[in-house]
Structure 1
Amino acid sequence: MAEVQRRVGAELDRIGPVIDELGERFASAGEQLALVGGPVRDAMLGRLQNDLDFTTSARPETTERLIAGWADAVWDMGRAFGTIGCRKGPWQVEITTFRADTYDPTSRKPDVEYGDTLAGDLGRRDFTVNAMAVTLPDRGFEDPFGGLLDLAHRVLRTPGRPEDSFSDDPLRMMRAARFAAQLGFGVAPEVVEAMTAMAGRIEIISAERVRDELVKLVCAPHPRLGLTLLVQTGLADHVLPELPALALERDEHHRHKDVYEHTLTVLEQSIALEDRLGGGPDFISRFAALMHDVGKPRTRRFEAGGIVTFHHHDVVGAKLTHKRMQALRFSNAEIDAVSKLVELHLRFHGYGTGEWTDSAVRRYVRDAGDQLERLHILTRADCTTRNRRKAERLRRTYDDLETRIARLSEEEELAALRPDLDGNQIMQILGIGPGREVGEAYKHLLDLRLEHGPATPEEAKAALLEWWAERTGGGPATAK
């Protein structure tokens, strides 16, 4: 406990320039103000952050007046929900009026109602570890629901009955899974029971809000914990049904691996390789790992001799991924990136022990496009065999492929793989204007580039004229 107090004190001192000045401003106006939620929880966990959440007795218009001239910038996009945001130096601040809102059983949006007390505001929060507050400017600690004890026990509980909490805001069920993944916490049995009983209520929540929670969960340090909870409680059946579908009924002779467990392992192995991307958590790479085998349930076949096959599950999986991400309102760029990775995740297995020609390597790079590095990660992560010799052989083979890609890239600039002539040059040589023929000529030259590597301008021109002569039946060329 002494260590927790020390951490909290140090964090409050660090953010003192914000909390002390704000506290004085609101107190002088006769209003209450408290630091609340995630910042208080994270201070106790020793996790520093510059996003600060406050709750106040002041109405939004009063809050706006009190921070005018103090904040570097102010925004009010959340005014309808009682929230005024601002920036002060490196800190992002949100100040929300005490709330007591609830959901109508058939509505996707809460009915916003202002509350009167700090205790009442804390009581409507999702979990006890987020229902602690530091009052300002006196820095008093408020913990009416035992959040500190739950934090020590690393467990998620609701301030009141979980059934009431999830009825008020069904998205809190998703947040339970997300916080389990972010914090590595367990979930109280009564919370799991309520999530299971009320899973279908998530249907009233907008796809965008579900998507945002799913992204946070997948990008958390322990996504397996959150995903397992979604499947266990039945929530995944409503928000990501492709995941529980991977828990295929095993045939009596166990002739195929557990696809669900394999997928979670691939996700974890993908995360372990993320440093290749040079940044933090990468949603595209992680979600591709999660979705890479979703085509297997639809393509599973039992063949003669007890063989289990999943032919074309890569193509089927890409289509299912595209459809699911569209339903969750992901951007077209995100959908295209993940779907491409799912579709290409088996391509490497045609490499054998290195029999691909340079042409095949070029096509691999060309098809992967800007997702090549993520494809490297997914392909390596997809090896979950316990046979060490097999795993080492696959690793060495992929090392060889990457080496060949690097060599060809250095020689031929594969990352910018294009035909040896551009559209303007094609039109000039053939003496034609813009149209379908230019695109077809471009594709023909690109195929030649992929097959044979770079050509000189003279060689490319000769190849173009030969193609044009064949296309026009060997008649006189109009080319210049």
Structure 2
Amino acid sequence: MDTIKLPEHPIFDTVAAAAEEVGVDAYVIGGFVRDLALKRSSKDIDVVCVGDGIELAERVSKRLPHKPKVSVFKNFGTAMLRSGDWEVEFVGARKESYREHSRKPEVETGTLEDDLKRRDFTINALGISLNKDSYGQLIDRFDGLKDMKRKIIRTPLEPGITFSDDPLRMMRAIRFASQLNFDIAPETFDAIIDNKDRIKIVSQERITDELNKIVLSPKPSYGFKLLFASGLLQLIFPKMAELQGVETIKGNSHKDNFYHTLQVLDNVAEVSDDLWLRWSAILHDIAKPDTKRYHEKAGWTFHGHEERGARMVPKLFKDLKLPLNEHMKFVQKLVRLHLRPIALVKDTVTDSAIRRLLFEAGDDIDALMKLCRADITSKNDNKVKRYLQNFDKVEKRLVEVEESDKLRNFQPVITGEVIMETFDLKPSKTVGELKEALTEAILEGTVKNEFGEAFAFLLSKGEEMGLRQVNSPNN
């Protein structure tokens, strides 16, 4: 890994020719070069020139056959254009200085050396020359390739200064370690510990963006363990950090719910790259610290942690600046229901219980079952195998009942409008009670979800409540 070859693509020759025409030196810098070295696919190119990056971008656009639009960001001194499915960003080389209470640097024109020094990590401070006399030559001032071989995350300059200047880099260090399965150099990690409180000046949106990238890592537990060990997790996501620890009373201990949660997260990551299913794994036991009780006979219990956890989800999403939309509702539903399939494994599986689970989970039943399978963690392999075999039976019954009753996202054939028309009612608690009674009867299997049978049940229930049929609605 002593050289890095540029891909065979005309965009590089075009930039090189435009740079020579403008009279500036130009280099491909940063993540694109890193990913080339790691043989990772990337089509986002950062070009640094010792001069005016915006002028270079406009000259490149004129040379390309399709004359792509150049998006200019004057405040940042950058420009961007697209060439096919390649995105190229241009910036002039610069140096930065920071004030103590801000992560917004004062920027001025600099040399290539200045630009490389301001990079966050050595593996991102690599460059490839696009200049005529040195085209394709690797620039590696800080031994980034050597660190890549050693699988090390390290800062180009003194790490304490790097992280104090821009505290988000602490999150980025852990994110890269988690994504690439690299170690963080000891002095770099010590600097994260020393500067962790500086994370408070970073916006929650930027923190959560990095957190989501950690969640989406191949083995996300690694990133969360680094966050916890550094003290960052306790600052950015204290509710998750509270899961850590084991309490013992009279020789009885409960499991460490933090490490259990990380195992569940890794288990989900093996079967799904869905961000929100992974968040469901993170939050499925989030209320255990709040519901933990010790009883002389029963030992440790966490009664109602699934319902309490579901109620906590909206505030947690709000605090973390995660979207308060259908993704939040999906996570909330899975947290609320995550014990239900386990209960079916333990008990005799009745059609009624299966119907209720299908009714409540709807289209998310498959995701719920993935979470529940992931939640079976034990050092006893036979116990895990036995539980998973029981889940196979539950899933078989789910398929059978779904095929016969069509209960996924089921709605009673008798609507609220039919109820109001039949008894000449206005929207009221009575209408809700009648609809709920009908739903219960269908879920219990005492009434089929067909208009004739359901309407007969409705009239009978209405009579019990002292209601008289006024109209005969069309079905």
Asked whether the two chains share a fold, i.e. TM above 0.5, the reply is: yes
1:163 to 148, 156, 160: 160
1:343 to 321, 336, 343: 336
Counterpart-to-counterpart distance in 2, 1:103 and 1:324: 32
Contact kept, 8 Å, 1:431 with 1:479, in 2: the verdict is no
Partner deviation per Cα, 1:154-175 (whole Å, 9 max, x = no partner):
1011010111111111000000
| Cα RMSD after superposing both structures | 2.5
1:251 deviation in Å? Answer: 1.3
For the pair 1:117 / 2:111, whether they are aligned, the reply is: yes
The equivalences for 1:300-319 within 5 A come to 300-305=292-297, 307-319=299-311
1:367 to 360, 365, 380: 360
Q: Is the partner of 1:84 in helix, strand or coil?
A: strand
The equivalences for 1:64-75 within 5 A come to 64-69=57-62, 70=64, 73-74=68-69
**2:283 paired residue number:** 291
Counterpart-to-counterpart distance in 2, 1:168 and 1:283: 30
Counterpart-to-counterpart distance in 1, 2:444 and 2:90: 61
Counterpart-to-counterpart distance in 2, 1:302 and 1:215: 35
Contact kept, 8 Å, 2:285 with 2:306, in 1: the verdict is yes
**Paired residue type of 1:117:** T
**2:84 paired residue number:** 89
Tell me: CA distance 1:476–1:264, structure 2 relative to 1, closer, same or farther (3 Å): closer
Partner deviation per Cα, 1:44-102 (whole Å, 9 max, x = no partner):
11112222222233445424522434366546375433332222112122223334345
2:240 to 240, 243, 249: 243
**2:175 paired residue number:** 178
**Paired residue type of 1:123:** K
Contact kept, 8 Å, 2:54 with 2:90, in 1: the verdict is no
Q: Is the partner of 1:52 in helix, strand or coil?
A: strand
Q: Is the partner of 2:413 in helix, strand or coil?
A: coil
**1:215 paired residue number:** 212
Partner deviation per Cα, 1:389-431 (whole Å, 9 max, x = no partner):
3222211221111111111222222223111134554455455
Counterpart-to-counterpart distance in 2, 1:327 and 1:428: 45
The equivalences for 1:80-479 within 5 A come to 80-107=75-102, 110-111=104-105, 113-137=107-131, 138-251=135-248, 253=251, 255-274=253-272, 281-305=273-297, 307-332=299-324, 333-423=326-416, 425-426=418-419, 428-430=421-423, 441-452=434-445, 454-471=448-465, 473-475=466-468, 477-479=470-472
1:41 deviation in Å? Answer: 0.8
Tell me: CA distance 1:427–1:313, structure 2 relative to 1, closer, same or farther (3 Å): closer
**Paired residue type of 1:310:** F
1:182 deviation in Å? Answer: 0.6
**Paired residue type of 1:151:** M
Larger mean CA deviation between 427-436 and 379-388 belongs to 427-436
Unpaired runs of 5+ in structure 1? 275-280
Larger mean CA deviation between 194-203 and 450-459 belongs to 450-459
The count of residues paired between Structure 1 and Structure 2 equals: 465
Partner deviation per Cα, 1:84-138 (whole Å, 9 max, x = no partner):
222211212222333434544333x513514321211111111000000112142
Tell me: CA distance 1:127–1:455, structure 2 relative to 1, closer, same or farther (3 Å): same
**Paired residue type of 1:207:** Q
Tell me: CA distance 1:217–1:459, structure 2 relative to 1, closer, same or farther (3 Å): same
Tell me: CA distance 1:73–1:209, structure 2 relative to 1, closer, same or farther (3 Å): farther
1:29 deviation in Å? Answer: 1.0
Counterpart-to-counterpart distance in 1, 2:423 and 2:10: 70
**Paired residue type of 1:273:** V
**Paired residue type of 1:65:** E
**2:31 paired residue number:** 38
Q: TM-score, normalised by structure 1?
A: 0.89
Counterpart-to-counterpart distance in 1, 2:186 and 2:111: 30
Partner deviation per Cα, 1:241-298 (whole Å, 9 max, x = no partner):
1232122243163522222222221111112222xxxxxx211121221222221222
Q: Is the partner of 1:94 in helix, strand or coil?
A: strand
Tell me: CA distance 1:413–1:93, structure 2 relative to 1, closer, same or farther (3 Å): farther
Contact kept, 8 Å, 1:127 with 1:158, in 2: the verdict is yes
Larger mean CA deviation between 35-44 and 414-423 belongs to 414-423
**Paired residue type of 1:91:** W
Counterpart-to-counterpart distance in 2, 1:186 and 1:354: 46
Contact kept, 8 Å, 1:420 with 1:445, in 2: the verdict is no
**Paired residue type of 1:196:** I
Tell me: CA distance 1:457–1:220, structure 2 relative to 1, closer, same or farther (3 Å): same
Larger mean CA deviation between 420-429 and 371-380 belongs to 420-429
Partner deviation per Cα, 1:295-347 (whole Å, 9 max, x = no partner):
12222222215811222222222333432221111111222222222222112
Counterpart-to-counterpart distance in 2, 1:144 and 1:418: 65
**Paired residue type of 1:259:** N
Contact kept, 8 Å, 1:157 with 1:191, in 2: the verdict is yes
Larger mean CA deviation between 90-99 and 376-385 belongs to 90-99
Contact kept, 8 Å, 2:422 with 2:469, in 1: the verdict is no
Counterpart-to-counterpart distance in 2, 1:227 and 1:376: 24
Counterpart-to-counterpart distance in 2, 1:416 and 1:293: 26
Q: Is the partner of 2:354 in helix, strand or coil?
A: helix
**Paired residue type of 1:154:** K
Counterpart-to-counterpart distance in 2, 1:27 and 1:439: 75
Tell me: CA distance 1:62–1:437, structure 2 relative to 1, closer, same or farther (3 Å): farther
Q: Is the partner of 1:420 in helix, strand or coil?
A: coil
